[in-house]
Structure 1
Amino acid sequence: MTVITLEAIKTEQNRVAEMIAAFEAQAATTYRIPEADITLQPGEHYAGIVLDEEGNPACHLILLPDEKEGANWKDAVAWAKSIGGDLPKRCEQSLLFANLASHFKKAWYWSSELHKDDSGYAWSQTFCYGGQGYNAFGTKCRARAVRRLIIQ
């Protein structure tokens, strides 16, 4: 059994007080998001702001109106380009699920990202429950395209 002394309690109390002071001294983070007028074309939907790896606003994400059904990955990439967009990145798919899930079928959709350890696979996301996984290029999934407005 460990004996607790008044000196040990005071030492621990001083340590906690120092932690509280250090926490309170931390500077607040301010995000600057420039004002933007975003024009949506008919059928487009605003998904939100995508953050970069450091947590800074990187771009506004716009979901384009069309959808491709039953496409392998390479055809999905080509289709998205043909309508003036790109397949969304994995993080963008999460944002789309959070903000615009009602605009998707409850199915798997291709992302633009390849699997880093397996060159024959690309990432996809289900809009049934939001999970992500990877599929072989030849797998038939749905596709949606996005466009990005860079925040400067």
Structure 2
Amino acid sequence: MTESIFGITEPDLAAAIKQWQNGDYKSCFAVIERYAQADHAEAQAILGASYATEHWGLGKDREKAVYWLERATVNGHPTAPLNLALLFDSTNLLVGADTARDDVAERNYKLAFERCKIGAEGGNVALMAALANCYASGWGTAPDQELAKIWRAKAVAAGYKGQP
């Protein structure tokens, strides 16, 4: 079995995710979509993020982005709730002034914060950085710049290479 940075042991999915990370979206779409349809949370989160940001060359499709991010959230993906909340928060094209959707976004921020905190405290480097962003922006918690700095520093010290 092959293992990717996401802890995925399915060789074809691990290879597809590596292709996706390298920007080769068309080559990996069918494999990721198949796993997403089979309720694989990581594949669902990738599809949701991709539809939100125009990957695959399909253009933005906010309804599909919401659909896949909601499924990934239900299936326990640690950062899908944060991505879903950000999607609701960043656009009026999909949610307008719909109070129900605003409530969903707030619940997703809280859920994302809780999951990020558990994962960060458990040593997940990407979730350390996500938790720092939650604290810095007040997503799902009261803003706390000091805790944001602490978690950014922990993420970087643990090898985080992204934008802290």
State the TM bucket, normalised to the shorter chain: under 0.3
The structure where strand makes up a greater share of residues is 1
The structure where helix makes up a greater share of residues is 2
Q: Scaled by the length of structure 2, what TM-score is found?
A: 0.25
The structure with the larger Rg is 1
Higher relative contact order (CA 8 A, sep 6+): 1
